[in-house]
Structure 1
Amino acid sequence: MKSARKPTPSSLAADTLDLLERVLDARLPPAYRDWLANRNGQMPENRLITFEKDGRETSTILHYLYAVNSEHTYNDLWHYHSNYGGELRPWYLAIGGDEGGNSIVLALKGPNHGKVFFSDHEVPFDVGLNVIAPSFEAFLAGLKAR
């Protein structure tokens, strides 16, 4: 008999976020940490992402934001990073994805710390990064209605 997973928590305690930071060996940008603490993977009302790719404005639709301890593995932050996050560590954290299977990535370290990127899964990681926003707050503010 298959055991059911617990429902996704709508918010996270500070000790869960502290554990996440220890596992990632990085501090989460404050706005993203606050988002997880208060909204843990909940979708924003607006989901249209616009950014510049190859010198042209392009767009995609935010399909999900990862939750910590999600009841579904497809949008669970732990599951994604333990199975697919190897190429991102230690500099980046995939925080969600679009409808085409591309990742929305947050820089955790280095000169891009705090910036949000679109990662095109059809090209090598270092080639497929495109800046969406200078911060998680700007990312949320820049989302538009579909």
Structure 2
Amino acid sequence: MKSRAKPTPSSLAPDTLDLLERVLGARLPAAYRDWLATRNGQTPENRLVSFTQNGRGSSTTLHSLYGVNCERACDDLWHNHASYGEELRPWYLSIGCDDGGNQIVLALKGPHHGKVFFLDHEVPLDAGLHLVAPSFDAFVTGLATG
């Protein structure tokens, strides 16, 4: 008999978040930790992400924000960290993606700690990061309809 996948938990317990931080070797920014604790990656209704790329305004559509222990691997933070983590580690964590497979990343360490970036997957990391918001709260608040 084939077992069914477990549904994605709608919230996370503190011990699960503590484990995530231990695995990452970094503290999650408080607003992002709260988001996972209460929403576990649920994608917001507004999904238009705006940022500046090469001095010009640009935008993309958020496909999803990753959750922990998701039913579908493509929406799972653990899975995506394993896929993109080597390139991003230890400074950034991929927390979501747009409709084209580009990543939304959160700075976990260094001078950009807590900032959210758009990562263009078609160029090297140092040229592909574009600031979206100074914090996770500002990121979610800045999402627009479109």
TM band (smaller chain): over 0.9
1:3 aligns with 2:16: no
SS of 2:59's partner is strand
**Runs of 5+ unmatched residues, structure 2:** none
SS of 1:38's partner is helix
Q: Distance in 1 between matches of 2:131 and 2:108?
A: 14
Residue identity opposite 2:121 in structure 1: H
1:72 aligns with 2:67: no
Residue identity opposite 1:103 in structure 2: Q
Aligned counterpart, 1:25: 25
1:44 aligns with 2:71: no
Q: Distance in 1 between matches of 2:124 and 2:3?
A: 38
**Runs of 5+ unmatched residues, structure 1:** none
**What TM-score, normalized by structure 2, do the two folds share?**
0.97
SS of 2:74's partner is helix
Which structure shows the bigger proportion of residues in helix conformation?
Answer: 2
Aligned-pair Cα RMSD in Å: 0.8
Q: Indicate conservation of the 8 Å contact 2:84/2:94, yes or no.
A: no
Aligned counterpart, 2:12: 12
Residue identity opposite 2:16 in structure 1: T
Residue identity opposite 1:78 in structure 2: W
Aligned counterpart, 1:143: 143
Residue identity opposite 1:56 in structure 2: R
Residue identity opposite 2:36 in structure 1: L
> What fraction of aligned residue pairs are identical, expressed as a percent?
71
Give how far 1:117 is off: 0.1
Q: Distance in 2 between matches of 1:73 and 1:128?
A: 24
